[in-house]
Amino acid sequence: MPIIQFREALRQAMSEEMRRDDRVFLMGEEVAEYDGAYKVSKGMLKEFGAKRVIDTPISELGFAGVGVGAAMNGLRPIVEFMTWNFAILAFDQIINSSAKILSMSGGQFGNPIVFRGPTGSAGQLAAQHSQTFESWLANCPGLKVISVSNPYDAKGLLKSAIRDDDPVVFMESEVMYGDKGEVPEQEYLIPIGKADIRRAGKDVTIVSFNKMMKVALAAADELAKEGIDAEVIDLRTIRPMDYATLIHSVKKTNRMVVLEESWPFAAVSTEIAYTIQRKAFDYLDAPVIRITGTDTPVSYAPNLVAGFLPNTGKVVKAVKEVMYIQK
């Protein structure tokens, strides 16, 4: 299979869907003339023209609302946010309009729309540009939330998101746009709501998503050197969550560590820990351990950013704790 960058996988997904369905269009800040803030939409203006690749004003609430209205009237918009940190301004449209319109209209209006862009920290961007939003948005009924970790999943899930008849929140990472991976030349779709077992194992289950998957897989490599066989699961979809795969895994390994970048209070890992300990309690040999970012705003200084983020050492320590190797 060809090896392409993460940004290219996203571009292929959008371009293929725009060629397939003329109701699909892209809008957002700098997506057209500048080829995208991260060059995800490079060349798309030239191919599809200014009516389907649309530069918007710096007004997230405004252009998100335009997208919601367009979706209510039969189009299928892709709304790109330069960062989900800026999308806080658009949460009124995402949560109060897009997520609720099907229910509030008694099924008369759907909202087939994709809101996408990068989430989480990306180096020295400090407190207002380093937040994660999966748990915020997954808390709202009516939204589907996807958070991808590699080019293959990015393309297959974005294509599925664009075809979905419900509003989909699609999370990426600024630090992964240059990542490379194998992506098939032929068309493929990945179903929304299905986790991926990235590494099979028998001793402990490590669950993660987005760029923290790199930490999870690196930790599994370190644990293997000590004879600990970790199963690593990439959630891919936060809502609807694939509880069945998680429960099946913990029935085999009897232990679970959940890793994410978010703040600890009411995080995605909180929901997973609660569900596993409620539905698979009899299979657990130890309590589920969560590893998150620290409960503080993210600083600018690189050493403090590193201290905020989960790392391989923390995951290895947590795995040994659930295996009662150390406390």
**Catalytic center residues:** 60, 129
Rounded Cα distance, 82 and 105, in Å: 31
Alpha helices in the chain (DSSP H): 6-20, 44-48, 60-72, 91, 101-104, 134-138, 151-163, 212-225, 243-253, 268-279, 302-308, 312-322
**Cα separations in angstroms, 190 against 3, 118, 160, 174, 253:** 18, 20, 7, 22, 26
First to last CA, the chain: 44
Of 151, 156, 140, 244, give the one whose Cα is nearest residue 192.
156
Asked if residues 188 and 153 have their Cβ atoms less than 8 Å apart, the reply is no
Asked if residues 117 and 177 have their Cβ atoms less than 8 Å apart, the reply is no
Q: Which residues pair with 24 in a beta bridge?
A: 76
Rounded Cα distance, 236 and 153, in Å: 8
Q: Which residues pair with 117 in a beta bridge?
A: 171
